[in-house]
């Protein structure tokens, strides 16, 4: 478990305790299937709308990527999303979310 201060995309503080198993379809409390990327932004209370606005990637693309690990971003979109998350203080790499 890790308690870290928040970032401009997140709530003030968050606790990171989620483990991801690649290839397993994860569901949120609302019964929505989520990708590894979707779980990450949910766990860190990152708004799809805010991530879209700050990264320059369309909200439809962010939403599609959050639904299933079968959906892959273009290299340009992946770079924009990762750069945005890193600027906000997240230590992330493409391999954390996608098999590209």
Q: 21-43 pLDDT, tens per residue?
A: 444 444 555 667 899 999 999 99
Question: How confident is the model over 82-98, as a mean pLDDT?
Answer: 97
Write the pLDDT tens digit of every residue in 52-87. 999 999 999 999 999 999 999 999 999 999 999 999
Residue 44 has pLDDT above 70, yes or no: yes
Q: How far apart are CA 100 and CA 19, in angstroms?
A: 20
Calculate the CA 81 to chain-centre distance: 9
In a domain, 49, yes or no: yes
In a domain, 29, yes or no: no
State residue 18's pLDDT score: 40
> Tell me, what CATH number does 50's domain have?
1.10.260
Report the number of distinct structural domains present in the chain: 1
Question: Global pTM?
Answer: 0.73
Q: How would you classify the pairing of strands 13-16 and 2-5?
A: antiparallel
Question: How confident is the model over 2-16, as a mean pLDDT?
Answer: 48
- State which residues form the domain around 54: 2-16+34-90
Q: Name which of 38, 41, 39, 36 is nearest 10 in CA terms.
A: 41
Q: How far apart are CA 92 and CA 90, in angstroms?
A: 6
């Amino acid at each position: 478990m890790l308690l870290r201060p928040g970032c401009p995309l997140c709530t003030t503080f968050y606790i990171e305790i989620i483990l991801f198993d690649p290839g397993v379809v994860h569901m949120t409390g609302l019964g929505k299937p989520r990708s590894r990327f979707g779980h990450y932004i949910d766990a860190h209370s990152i708004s799809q709308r805010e991530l879209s606005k700050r990264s320059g990637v369309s909200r439809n693309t962010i939403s599609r990527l959050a639904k299933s690990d079968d959906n892959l971003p273009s290299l340009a979109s992946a770079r924009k999303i990762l750069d945005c998350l890193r600027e906000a203080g997240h230590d992330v790499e493409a391999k954390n979310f996608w098999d590209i």
